């Protein structure tokens, strides 16, 4: 799966993933009002609004970017209708040729981790019938439980040609509470990074990168520099650009000299761009056009920083 992602990154010249985190507060009133009129102020109403909103964003950006990253928490909070919207979003984005990174941060042990891997990347066997479930292309995974939590995912990745991104150093202010603490001579995140390198060895694609990637926040560029060396064949998914404070120049260290090795996520900064002063001329009705312009500007910001 990493080969497909890298190919799309090269083709679009945009190492960018659009984070589909559709909080109700980001959705224009005209979409919300229509959904509430159709379904009431219900889980179903919220789910309809989310899906409608997402389709607008996908339509306006799919030719510019290689991938989208729906954050499942934003759907799960609307219960079963919310998860229907998640499923439909995945399908719609796929139909437009996008790679899907399911930001699910799952992680458990043994057969339970296998079940999560099946849910998001694989096929379930029901009395001999193999059925695909949510069928994202990549999923994000939490490393706290060690190899028992990860190898069921890598096994499914091998079988189904999929990939994962493992949390190494997250973008939030308190990520250092455990991740930065010195552990036998180096911070925990470095131990996790070394394991990511190891877990990914059997999944290196033609492009030279592994389908086992890592998450390292844009808000910690110095960590990016170190981790780029610790995990030379690892693609780094970088959240925290834009709204969380990460800037184009901070991103340089996450890339290799080949201009590859990192993909930068922006959620709010793209999908809610119309609420930002810089794009206010688009208005609510133009939320999707604002998102398109925000992607173009982000691509330029990254390109400038890398050159």
Q: Which residues are catalytic?
A: 105
Task: Give 126 or 206: the residue with its C-beta nearer to a second copy.
Answer: 126
User: Is residue 67 a contact point for a second copy (CB under 8 A)?
Assistant: no
The one among 11, 37, 127, 257 contacting a second copy by CB under 8 A: 127
Burial of 206 (0-12, 13-18, 19+ CB in 10 A): exposed
Contact of 217 with 240, CB cutoff 8 Å: yes
The one among 62, 69, 106, 292 contacting a second copy by CB under 8 A: 106
User: Is residue 108 a contact point for a second copy (CB under 8 A)?
Assistant: yes
User: Is residue 156 a contact point for a second copy (CB under 8 A)?
Assistant: no
Distance (Å) of CA 117 to CA 91, 155, 215: 18, 9, 18
User: Is residue 176 a contact point for a second copy (CB under 8 A)?
Assistant: yes
Phi, psi of 266 (to 5 degrees): -135, 130
Which of these ranges, 157-165, 184-192, 246-254, 290-298, lies near a second copy under the rule CB under 8 A?
Answer: 184-192
The one among 1, 16, 18, 32 contacting a second copy by CB under 8 A: 32
As measured in angstroms, the least distance from the Cβ of 94 to a second copy is 16
Which of these ranges, 60-68, 93-101, 128-136, 271-279, lies near a second copy under the rule CB under 8 A?
Answer: 128-136
Helices 147-160/110-121 angle, 10° precision: 40
Q: Which of 118, 67, 55, 53 is nearest to 97 (CA)?
A: 67
As measured in angstroms, the least distance from the Cβ of 293 to a second copy is 25
Structure tokens at 246: 């990460």
User: Is residue 142 a contact point for a second copy (CB under 8 A)?
Assistant: yes
Cα separation, 242 vs 81, whole angstroms: 30
Neighbouring C-beta atoms of residue 92, cutoff 10 Å: 17
Which residues on adjacent β-strands are paired with residue 71?
A: 103
Task: Give 36 or 92: the residue with its C-beta nearer to a second copy.
Answer: 36
Which of these ranges, 61-69, 191-199, 258-266, 271-279, lies near a second copy under the rule CB under 8 A?
Answer: 191-199
The one among 95, 147, 280, 304 contacting a second copy by CB under 8 A: 147
Q: DSSP string covering 15-55, please? A: -EEEEE---GGGS-HHHHHHHHHHH-SSHHHHHHHHHHHHH
Q: Which of 81, 182, 76, 78 is nearest to 120 (CA)?
A: 76
DSSP H or E segment with residue 102: strand 99-106
User: Is residue 97 a contact point for a second copy (CB under 8 A)?
Assistant: no
User: Is residue 245 a contact point for a second copy (CB under 8 A)?
Assistant: no
Length of the chain: 307
Which of these ranges, 54-62, 108-116, 250-258, 275-283, lies near a second copy under the rule CB under 8 A?
Answer: 108-116
Contact positions vs a second copy (CB under 8 A)? 21, 23-24, 32, 36, 41-43, 45-46, 71, 73-74, 76-80, 82-84, 87, 105-113, 115-116, 118-119, 124, 126-129, 131, 133-134, 142-149, 167, 170-179, 181-184, 188, 191-192, 195
């Amino acid at each position: 799966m990493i080969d497909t992602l890298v190919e799309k990154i090269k083709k679009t010249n945009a190492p960018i993933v659009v984070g589909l985190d559709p909080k109700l507060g980001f959705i224009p009133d005209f979409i919300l009002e229509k959904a509430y009129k159709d379904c009431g102020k219900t889980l179903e109403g919220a789910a309809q609004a989310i899906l409608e909103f997402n389709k607008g964003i996908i339509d306006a950006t799919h030719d510019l970017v290689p991938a989208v990253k729906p954050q499942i928490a934003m759907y799960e909070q609307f219960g079963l209708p919310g998860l229907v919207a998640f499923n439909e979003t995945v399908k719609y984005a796929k139909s437009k040729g996008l790679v899907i990174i399911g930001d699910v941060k799952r992680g458990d042990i043994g057969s339970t981790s296998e079940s999560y891997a099946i849910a998001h990347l694989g096929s379930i066997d029901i009395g001999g019938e193999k059925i695909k479930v949510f069928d994202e292309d990549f999923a994000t995974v939490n490393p706290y439980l060690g190899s028992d939590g990860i190898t069921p995912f890598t096994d499914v990745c091998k079988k189904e040609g999929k990939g994962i991104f493992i949390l190494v150093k997250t973008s939030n202010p308190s990520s250092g509470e455990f991740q930065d603490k010195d552990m036998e001579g180096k911070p925990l995140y470095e131990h996790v990074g070394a394991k990511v390198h190891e877990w990914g060895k059997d999944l290196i694609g033609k492009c030279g990168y592994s389908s086992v990637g890592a998450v390292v926040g844009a808000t910690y560029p110095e960590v990016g520099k170190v981790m780029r060396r610790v995990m030379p064949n690892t693609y780094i998914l970088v959240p925290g650009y834009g709204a969380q404070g990460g800037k184009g120049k901070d991103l340089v260290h996450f890339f290799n000299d080949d201009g590859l090795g990192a993909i930068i996520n922006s959620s709010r900064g793209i999908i809610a761009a119309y609420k930002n002063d810089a794009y206010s001329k688009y208005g609510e009705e133009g939320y999707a056009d604002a998102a398109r312009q925000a992607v173009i500007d982000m691509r330029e910001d990254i390109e400038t920083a890398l050159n």
